[in-house]
Amino acid sequence: MRGKMTAITHHTPDALLAAYAAGSLPQPFALVVASHISLCLDCRAAYDAHQAAGGVVLDTVAGEDLSESLKSSVFDLLDAPVVPEPVFQRSGVYPGPVMEVLDGKPPRWKPVGGGVRQCILSAAEAGSVRLLYIPPGQAVPDHSHNGLELTLVLQGSFSDETGRFGVGDLEVADEHLDHTPVADAGAPCICLAATDAPLRFRTLVPRLLQPLFRI
């Protein structure tokens, strides 16, 4: 949390934060929201508030009878040794949640054309999430325009019809938004991008080649 903090102007919409706190977001989106919260005090406060609301619901939910042995088996395990789980710290521009998925290692970039590189963090039916590296002046690879799409800037910035997105800013797009994000001059733009539609690169790779690229 410490260190320089640029002014974040594009935040996680409240409904997405509520869904994240409630555990209703698929993993690709949850990774982007967790990363944004890591960079953004406003959204951390909102996340805390949604947890408070969840706590109130937990207080009011009807209880269920427990097996008689449950309590004693918990108490029997209180002193059992535990292997501490690794804690992944932020590294460079990559927030802790991204470092966890990268298993603490730097991203392994694959070129996708035009100087653009990507590193797929996870890809499944429910959606995918990847890191993108976009040189200044290059377009962010064609977004799916087909479902929800979250893009969090980690380095540099990009601009599109809706405005400018700098470090920590989150762009939320869906099929109603027709936009062409382009990396601004300066440092290459690195972003974390999640979508619930299959990834597509209409402008860069012929459709037939897509299976080869796992996109």
Partner 1 sequence: MTNSSRQISPQTLRMLAVRDARDRAAFSELFDYFAPRLKGFIMRSGTGSGQAEEIVQDVMLTVWRKAALFDPQRANVSAWIYQIARNRQIDVIRKENRPLPEDLAEPPGAEPDASQILAVEQETGQLRDALARLKPDQREIIEKAYLGELTHQEISTQTGLPLGTIKSRIRLGLERLRHELKDAR
Binding residue for Zn ion, selected from 22, 24, 42, 162, defined by CB under 5 A? 42
Q: Which is nearer to partner 1, 95 or 156 (CB)?
A: 95
Runs of H (alpha helix) within 22-151? 27-39, 41-60, 69-77, 96-101
Residue 158, strand partner residues: 165, 183
| C-alpha distances out from residue 93 to 58, 137, 186, 189, Å | 36, 20, 16, 11
Separation of alpha carbons 148 and 23, rounded Å: 17
Q: Which does 27 bind (CB under 5 to 8 A by kind): Zn ion, partner 1, none?
A: partner 1
Tokens representing residue 136 in the block: 């200044």
Q: Which does 23 bind (CB under 5 to 8 A by kind): Zn ion, partner 1, none?
A: partner 1
Q: Which does 3 bind (CB under 5 to 8 A by kind): partner 1, Zn ion, none?
A: none
Binding residue for partner 1, selected from 21, 112, 132, 190, defined by CB under 8 A? 21
String marking each residue 56-95 x if it binds partner 1 according to CB under 8 A? xxxxxxxxxxxx--xx-xxx-xx---x----x-xx----x
Closest alpha carbon to 123 in 194, 19, 209:
194
Separation of alpha carbons 64 and 56, rounded Å: 17
Q: Which does 11 bind (CB under 5 to 8 A by kind): Zn ion, partner 1, none?
A: Zn ion
Element (H, E) at 85: none
Please give the residue ranges that form the binding site for partner 1 (CB under 8 A).
1-2, 13-16, 18-19, 21-27, 29-31, 33-35, 37-38, 41-42, 44-67, 70-71, 73-75, 77-78, 82, 87, 89-90, 95-97, 100-101, 148
